[in-house]
Structure 1
């Protein structure tokens, strides 16, 4: 039995609907798919998220849009929320977040999170979204990575920006791994920019970290389905999630022949269970969602045609202070 067929028996109508369409090749004319579509739109989970979306500020609304899109919702609340987010956009295409960390150009994530939500809702090519993409490309560092805050706003005039914190530093890049992950996630949702030089260079930086932390696999999925909170500003994407990395790489056209992708896939295959599913380390109920995520990424990789910088990069794990007792 295929993974898709196994997932069709899941209690979640969102997971059944996505598995039927993405793994089993069903279309919206299928009677069961149409019935699940109605069930999704009427579910208490979707109702709660839509109600929360109506009251959310642009930063929070951006990720709520990601969650709703991930669960298969496509109702009018999405377009209404996108318009609200655009009303708060600054003239240069960015967004700011009120609070102790002020300034649209101080924290890259303040623009990344709303933009990813806009793209997930299907508005990536809206002229206002394109202006945000141009802002995002304009704040890249010389090596193609993204800083936590663009270099023009870090440090004093005439002085170099301070290095990124060790725990989110890229192995062979100048930028922030969290910010670079978020920027690539935005580009990966754009129908044309997903295979651009900027997207692939960003993925290349992320693939340079070749650690294997099984406990973090599926972290992004757990947030998208609501089992973990989406928290942080600079640290929003600080967790190094191999499933999310594979998703981004597959969307940006990385070839399965890339050494790092090949070794990553081989590692993930060792974690596959006897029925072809992957188990989540903290939430057993996420096995279906995590398996959908990984299986979809593996199939998407087949269309990849780009190989990046495959030379191994040195990586030293974050050094914690010595215990006092």
Structure 2
């Protein structure tokens, strides 16, 4: 199966499969050649052009996620991270841009988790400014360890009682928002120390409480990271319940229990005859989806 990934037209997929699944060192001759190809590839150049002019923290943060997913690690990432930190609030969060400002929207949790995930994906999770954002994120948690759409679910409006989360994004056994909790865990999962924290594991526990198996949504996050689907939404940015993404988060936070084993067993029943997982909407995404799931399975095996 790995031979299919190593023979893919994308240098990003070849490089990541070689380094992360085959343990080829980054100074290997082929790995270095693929890195050079990555830097000049059309998807990466397009993302870099957009990143150079993007001023919206959430959009810039996700562009960083996409570039990191494609294996790019050039100097433009550090420049973009500094630009994001320049927009950070004193409390560690990010505000809503003026052209998107609605009553209380500055307090929407998603305005912080997407930029922070991008910063962490770019390799700056332990920067003191990022740590301040992580501290803000922990302070926004509800008593049950989930995250609301806004701190304490009231969007910060004084005198307004806390409202329950909307049904379509409410956690099955928690008071918080599934979209916000997914985003928060995605940030924690990329931190070298916080990924193993009780906060990260509790967040994954809330996400695992949903027992549905929506096959059509498997690979949704991968499809956005490689640019086949648009990354959009505010509170609903992570509302799609993607089991491949959930397995990624569980593997990075080292959560292993019967629910994770059941999820793996179910996913294995969907593997094709050549060892690949087929993506239902984008057949060309199947190798990326397979790589993503294989990486998660490897992390679980090594934990």
Which category of TM-score, normalised to the shorter sequence, fits these structures? over 0.9
User: Which residue is 2:3 aligned to?
Assistant: 5
1:302 counterpart SS class: helix
Structure with larger Rg: 1
Structure 2: how far apart are the matches of 1:303 and 1:31? 27
For the Cα contact (< 8 Å) 1:97–1:104, is it kept in 2? yes
For the Cα contact (< 8 Å) 1:105–1:150, is it kept in 2? no
User: Which residue is 1:108 aligned to?
Assistant: 109
The two structures, once aligned, show a CA RMSD in angstroms of 1.4
**How do residues 1-325 of structure 1 correspond to structure 2 at under 5 angstroms?**
3-57=1-55, 58-98=57-97, 99-101=100-102, 103=104, 105-151=106-152, 153-154=154-155, 157=158, 160-255=161-256, 258-304=257-303
Structure 2: how far apart are the matches of 1:104 and 1:80? 27
Q: CA deviation at 1:6?
A: 1.6
Structure 1: how far apart are the matches of 2:44 and 2:126? 25
Unpaired runs of 5+ residues, structure 2, are none
Residue by residue over 1:14-36, the C-alpha shift from the partner in whole angstroms, topping out at 9 and shown as x without a partner, is: 00000011111111122111110
Structure 2: how far apart are the matches of 1:28 and 1:159? 54
Q: CA deviation at 1:210?
A: 1.1
Residue by residue over 1:72-96, the C-alpha shift from the partner in whole angstroms, topping out at 9 and shown as x without a partner, is: 0000000000000000000000001
Aligned length: 300
For the Cα contact (< 8 Å) 1:146–1:183, is it kept in 2? yes
1:180 counterpart SS class: helix
Q: Comparing both structures, which one devotes a greater share of its residues to helix?
A: 2
Structure 2: how far apart are the matches of 1:171 and 1:181? 13
Unpaired runs of 5+ residues, structure 1, are 305-325
Structure 1: how far apart are the matches of 2:105 and 2:195? 24
2:72 counterpart SS class: coil
2:171 counterpart SS class: coil
Q: CA deviation at 1:160?
A: 4.0
The 3 A distance-change label for structure 1 pair 241 and 119 is: same
Q: TM-score under structure 2 normalisation?
A: 0.96
Structure 2: how far apart are the matches of 1:267 and 1:37? 35
Structure 2: how far apart are the matches of 1:302 and 1:160? 45
2:107 counterpart SS class: coil
